[in-house]
Amino acid sequence: MSTDTVTLEAQDLLGDAVRLRRTLHRRPEVGLDLPHTQEAVLTAIDGLGLHVTTGEQTSGVVALLDGARPGPTVLLRGDMDALPMHEDTGLDYSSDIDDAMHACGHDTHVAMLAGAARLLAGRRAELAGRVLFMFQPGEEGFHGARYMLEEGLLDVGPYRDGSSSPVTGAFAIHVTSMYPSGTVNLRGGTLMASADKVRITVNGRGGHASAPHDALDPIPIACEMVMAIQSMVTRRIDVFDPAVVTIAQIVAGTTNNVIPESAMIYGTVRTVSEPNRRRVHDALRRLADGIAAAHGAGVEIDIELGYPVTVNDLGFAGFATQVATDVVGAAKVRTMPNPIMGAEDFSYVLQQVPGALAFLGAAPPGRDLRTVAPNHSNRVVFDESAMATGIALYASVALKHLA
């Protein structure tokens, strides 16, 4: 299998990928129920000879490509959902939906994976095993990958001759406007953080604002907790096993002359190891309980578990790095020095299958990376030409894993 030939085939598929991407970009859908996106995916892979199933609880699409010979299965993931936000890019294919935008590039992921499916279907004779295409909804906080796993994503069953065909590798690509276009960026080990929600409600005693001594004002207690959380992170958490706790919302009161009964603070907790994740949760509970008790107030603390830490398998990450080097050249493959504090529900897949997630640079040409709009911005724009690299990378990972 020539990587150069795969790259040329991917380039030939770029036009179709751009058209599919723009169709999805104009009609973004949020969450787990993405009927128009699902229909576009099914149309894009129709006629490729894949065994296709759709989700029961979600709009997920699973497509299985049988190779010419028996062997293991490799999973390729592309997430499909958009974000609930207005688009201000000014593109001629901007979102037609007022409060939805593909601001994280998932439309490119779908288009690249569909292109890879077409490329690999044409190379069925080279495959000793199977390719499992995972078109996933609900990555943006809706646990779409977990739902697909619960519905049997990895239960691919035996090969048609009855031989075992387990999923032995998993690979995903995520575009980003923060890296030069066409570069592949990844690392072995921890790649992305866990992401949990923390909500602390301080229960005091309401009263007149002119007589705080007759009430128990929850607001300064909540403010004390916010400040103490910052000290906790810098003084209780190992700087080499970092955590981020950001309180992003404070809600209390109704007017200027009434001390409210309660105050609520709401934020996010990010860590890059599971043991530290538990330590931060425990520390937050002790802090909130202690400060509330010191003031004679009541407190309720709720920590909602989000995505786990995303950990790239060291062996598979090394393999993916070599494949990327073959596809784009060593100068465009970069080993990330540190994890990032964003989160990904591909983490659920990587807990069960050795694999890796890689970032594909798609910064608009000629733009200063220091000022380019990042993912999740209402003005983010991606270089569509980078999708040819993504198609080739998806396909090459599958071909070489099954070689």
In the sheet with 61-66, reading across from the earlier edge strand, the strands are: 51-54, 61-66, 128-136, 69-79, 167-176, 355-361, 184-186, 333-335
Give me the helix-helix angle, 106-121 and 3-12, nearest 10°.
Answer: 120
Q: Is 384 an annotated catalytic residue?
A: yes
| Distance between start and end Cα atoms, the chain | 9
CA distance 348 to 193: 13
Task: Please pick, among 9, 139, 140, 384, the residue that the annotation labels catalytic.
Answer: 384
Task: Please pick, among 307, 344, 348, 394, the residue that the annotation labels catalytic.
Answer: 307
Pairing type for strands 61-66 and 51-54 reads: antiparallel
Q: Taking a C-beta distance cutoff of 8 angstroms, is the pair 47, 157 a contact?
A: no
DSSP-derived letter for residue 213 is G
Beta-carbon-side half-sphere exposure of residue 267 (alpha carbons within 13 Å): 19
CA distance 232 to 301: 16
Beta bridge partners of 302: 199
Rg of the chain on CA atoms, in Å: 24
Beta bridge partners of 365: none
CA distance 309 to 351: 9
Q: Taking a C-beta distance cutoff of 8 angstroms, is the pair 76, 172 a contact?
A: yes
Q: Taking a C-beta distance cutoff of 8 angstroms, is the pair 148, 62 a contact?
A: yes
Q: What string of DSSP letters covers 326-386?
A: HHH-GGGEEE-SS-BS---THHHHHTTS-EEEEEEE-PPTT--TTTSPPTT-TT----GGG
| Interacting residues of 18 by C-beta distance below 8 A, sequence separation 6+ | 111, 384, 387
Burial readout 118-144 (b: 16 or more C-beta within 10 A, e: otherwise):
bbbbebeeebebbbbbbbbbbbbbbbb
Count other Cβ atoms within 10 Å, centred on residue 307.
23
Q: Taking a C-beta distance cutoff of 8 angstroms, is the pair 207, 257 a contact?
A: no
Q: Provide the annotated active-site residues.
A: 307, 384
